[in-house]
A and B are shown apart, each in its own frame.
Chain A
């Protein structure tokens, strides 16, 4: 059965191509605005965090610490309509310097993750 044989090898080959850790289980940070480690001239009014899985935003928390250690987040994370894997966080940034974002995420698969990154405001 050469045809079936070829089909099976193609299917297995496809699986092996896909199997390296190209995807992440649980919600991990995919991209951020401002970006991870970015240096930006203008202070944003909110952060946009994009994850690898859908989020339960009601049970996510994000804190943003300024150069003097004070918290600058201006409210709880907000869901982004139509984008289950994104959330925004309003911030009130008045001074230049390095800002550290610490996030705790709950994904729709019921698992929790956490992480931190920083960005710098340098006008």
Chain B
């Protein structure tokens, strides 16, 4: 369970879990910005779909992480360690608590309390930051990393998480309402991009350290890939904002396709993030043997 294959598998499960969680949250958040009286069939099903993905990928992540913690040789070893991880580790407590919050959020969403649901799910999104290096570290670097992780998670979840629901709403709403929604989402997306770029720059300085590390370390290479993908996402989003959105409702089909492509790229970014979070950041690498 110590090999790099297992590491990547743990990372992919973590990324999928985040993708499900983000899309459940983003669906609830988007529902709060719908034009008055607008009805989008399938939004509740989409929120439950995100919940199911977060739950299944989260369960797989929990299992793999427990096997790694306990250096388990057999599945019986893992089963024995599961309650200890659930009760005594920050990882276990956070994952279970966040899933409970998402379940409550999905139930609230079912009752049409979209704001309550979005707030509950947002809490679960942000709590993930305490599992990162900033949350584990004391001192000013720790506080800086933790606050930047909170902002980064918020930006990513609001933007990427809302994309599937946005595509669904653009397809089902009448032309005028679809245009109102797209114009409302546009500045929110732009604000998220600004937050993501700012926090990525800070994390680059504190965790990657320099351009050289992009080419010499696995962490740097993955961080570089994430930056490239983010660049691609921003290009797509800019085209949506400046070319397609102003031409609504005529450009609706093209906009839906572009939003779906953005969501797919976003999923790849989250999978890369999941693996990245398993690795040691080169700028803070420890001394061997100490």
Contacts and interface: CB of A to CB of B under 8 A. Distances in A.
B136 A109 contact: yes
B235 interface: no
A94 to B, nearest CB: 28
Contacts of A52: 137, 286
Interface stretch (A39-47, A53-61, A68-76): A53-61
B251 interface: no
Nearest to B141: A23
B280 A25 contact: yes
A25 B207 contact: yes
B249 interface: no
A123 B123 CA distance: 56
Interface residues of A, number: 32
A109 B133 contact: yes
A18 B89 contact: no
A109 B140 contact: no
B70 A59 contact: yes
B205 A54 contact: no
A110 interface: yes
Interface of A: 15-16, 18-19, 21-29, 36, 52-54, 56, 58-59, 85, 106-113, 115-117
Given A25-B284, A53-B137, 4 more contacts: A29-B290, A56-B88, A108-B131, A111-B280
Interface of B: 65, 68-70, 84, 88-91, 131-133, 135-142, 144, 202, 205-207, 209, 278, 280-281, 283-290
7 contacts: A19-B206, A19-B209, A25-B285, A58-B88, A59-B69, A115-B288, A116-B289
